[in-house]
Chains A and B, each alone.
Chain A
Amino acid sequence: MSIEIKNLTKNFGDTCALDDVTLSFGENKIFGLLGNNGAGKSTLLGIVTDRLYPTSGTVEVDGENVTNNDTALSKVFLVAEQNMFPEDMSVKKAFNTAQLFYPDFDRAYAEKLSAKFGLNTKKKIKALSTGYSSIFRLILGLSVNTPYLLFDEPVLGLDAQHRDMFYRLLMEKYAEKPCTIIVSTHLIAEAAELIEHTVIIRDGRIIRDCPSSDLTANVYSVSGPGMLVDAYLSDKHVLTVNTLGGLKTACVEGGTAALPEGLVLSRVNLQDYFISLMEEEDRK
């Protein structure tokens, strides 16, 4: 049971948004799809849910190609920035409609969450503020109960309290009824500890695809007097170097050698690693 993406390429005119992407999203895991703006995250999720057509390559859900395939598509729900319902529809009505398309949609739970977030379900979708428009879509996502749940930048426009609520609810949902979750985000620090497996996409290409704990296991930051750091770095894979007066700090990927006296070692979190990796790619 998985989503299998094979050799997926998507061109928009001269622009290559996805370049030969092959990925597997396995059962009941939480995946993080990380990348800067324009990296191809939304395009990828759009193709997975058949909202966009690939230039070449395939997407299969549990072994079935998703293109024009309602059976395969009914297993996948995407919470994206765009609203999928007519603007004139009320939230209540939209819940009714969702129930028709997704038989496992939990209406009572959606109502409960609406009350919790303070979403007025009598309001028309177009009358919702940016934040509540996001909340409306998140509630749909948390209530549909599809085996695959995709979130494209889920917390945009949400205040800190609502973001916190969303992450907790997502964990509650996942713990009670495990499913495959893909969260695409550039707000990495907030989501870092939720993500079991990390995929990093850059300029339409996958540059990292591994368990989150492995990703930064071999990454560390070393700092100390400039000359000492330089000598230490000579045979290492260095992602970034920062200098502050005489103090030099470098982000290094690869095994740790015995550290010379005078240097300090520390771990690097997912967000700092991501930034260092992007800076390294920028220089290429």
Chain B
Amino acid sequence: MTFQDERPIFLQLAEQLEAGILSGAYPEESRVPSITEYSVTYKINPATALKGINLLVDSGLLYKKRGLGMFVAEGAKEKLKAARREKFYADYVETLVREARNLGLGASELAEMIKRGFEDVD
């Protein structure tokens, strides 16, 4: 991973960690990279890495084991999936419906199109 977009690094780091939990790269109850590892690997200030990791601690996805480091919480993957589904609804479904209305498509026609999409897209 490299940090290229203009969003703050700590946010990008948090997203990368979330993606890792979702993909199974960081299984539940496993240790995630330490502040030092992030700081050295990405050449970022440890305070920045800490800020990113704390975002996940605050949302209950990571927890600290004293002296051992940060671990992925039980149920973190499900929690993330649920959050992603909500975000999917807000980002895609709401936009989709709005544009469908603009084009004069009703609910059943849109449903038909989505069905077609499921057949066409690999």
Q: Which residues of A line the B interface, CB within 8 A?
A: 30, 164, 167-168, 171-172, 174-176, 193-196, 213, 266-269
Question: CA of A174 to CA of B9 in the docked complex: distance in angstroms?
Answer: 19
Which residues of the partner chain B approach A196 to less than 8 Å between Cβ atoms?
45, 47
B7 touches A175 (CB 8 A): no
B45 touches A194 (CB 8 A): yes
Q: Which residue of B lies closest to A193 (CB)?
A: B44
A195 touches B7 (CB 8 A): no
Interface size on B, residues (CB 8 A): 17
A167 touches B6 (CB 8 A): no
B36 touches A172 (CB 8 A): yes
Question: CA of A213 to CA of B52 in the docked complex: distance in angstroms?
Answer: 13
Q: Which residue of B lies closest to A221 (CB)?
A: B6
Which of these, A167, A175, A267, contacts B36 with CB under 8 Å?
A175
A30 touches B45 (CB 8 A): yes
Mark out the residues of chain B between 84 and 100 whose CB falls within 8 Å of any chain A CB in the assembled complex: none
Q: Tell me, yes or no, whether B46 is within 8 Å of chain A by CB.
A: yes
B46 touches A174 (CB 8 A): yes
Residue in A167, A193, A267, A269 with the greatest tally of chain B CB atoms within 10 Å:
A193
Mark out the residues of chain B between 41 and 62 whose CB falls within 8 Å of any chain A CB in the assembled complex: 41-48
Chain A contact surface mostly: helix
Which residues of the partner chain A approach B39 to less than 8 Å between Cβ atoms?
171, 174-175
Q: How far is the CB of B2 from chain A (nearest CB, A)?
A: 11
A193 touches B42 (CB 8 A): yes
Q: Which residues of B line the A interface, CB within 8 A?
A: 3, 6-9, 35-36, 39-48
Which residues of the partner chain B approach A176 to less than 8 Å between Cβ atoms?
36
Which residues of the partner chain A approach B8 to less than 8 Å between Cβ atoms?
213
Which of these, B7, B9, B40, B42, contacts A172 with CB under 8 Å?
B40
Which of these, B3, B7, B35, B43, contacts A167 with CB under 8 Å?
B43
Which residues of the partner chain A approach B36 to less than 8 Å between Cβ atoms?
171-172, 175-176
A171 touches B43 (CB 8 A): yes
Q: Which residue of A lies closest to B6 (CB)?
A: A267
27 A-B pairs (CB sep. < 8 Å): A30-B45, A167-B43, A168-B43, A171-B39, A171-B40, A171-B44, A171-B45, A171-B46, A172-B36, A172-B40, A174-B39, A174-B46, A175-B36, A175-B39, A175-B40, A176-B36, A193-B3, A193-B44, A193-B45, A193-B48, A194-B43, A194-B44, A194-B45, A196-B45, A266-B6, A267-B6, A267-B7
